[in-house]
A and B are shown apart, each in its own frame.
Chain A
Amino acid sequence: MDEQEQKYIDGFNSGYLLAKHEPTLAAQITASPNDHNPFFSGLVNGKSEYEREVREWAKSFSRGAPAQDDRDINRDR
């Protein structure tokens, strides 16, 4: 693995973590684009990855997975 790739991965992990725990800060940091730096590209993509996962999670949640649980709760009442 070359230095550029390692920088990209470090940025990706940082972006993911920031998006998860400090979403406002992550949005502020990535607001100014800088495609020339691998760390920054990783940062932007790591943030996007976390946001994509949240969207997927929300989608699966709204598909009605917990509906079964609700029905069971109602049945017990």
Chain B
Amino acid sequence: MEVICLHDEAFYSLIERVVERIKEKQNNMPVKWISGEETMKILRITSKTTLQKLRDEGKIKFSQPEKKIILYDMESINAYLNKHTY
């Protein structure tokens, strides 16, 4: 197997292009995983405790890939908002 060395910038921009191409194929699907900060903005909440409550009660889907990182599923946030919009 041959190993090709790429500058990290080139490598990440290559991946970015591949991802963009996939998104185009999938009709420009929106970003799936967002930060807690963005989630709070979208849900219009200011308290981290409320965010934790939504998490604990299973109202919104999240992933905790690392101890200090929690990401939220945009689809579940939209579903939650739709459910609570009259």
Contact = CB atoms under 8 A, between A and B. Distances in A.
B16 A45 contact: no
B interface, how many residues as a size bin? 20 to 34
B33 A29 contact: no
Interface residues of A, number: 23
Interface of B: 8, 12, 15-16, 18-19, 22-23, 25-26, 31-35, 37-38, 63, 65-66, 69, 71
Contacts of B12: 39
Interface of A: 1, 5, 8-9, 12-14, 16-18, 21-22, 25, 29, 37, 39, 41-43, 45-46, 48-49
Interface of A is mostly: helix
A39 B14 CA distance: 13
B22 A45 contact: no
A49 B18 CA distance: 19
Contacts, number: 50
Nearest 5 pairs of A and B residues by beta carbon:
A45-B65, A14-B19, A21-B22, A49-B63, A13-B33
Contacts of B16: 14
Contacts of B33: 9, 12-13, 16, 46, 49
Nearest to B8: A37
B71 A9 contact: yes
Contacts of A22: 18, 22
Contacts of A13: 19, 31-33
A76 B79 CA distance: 35
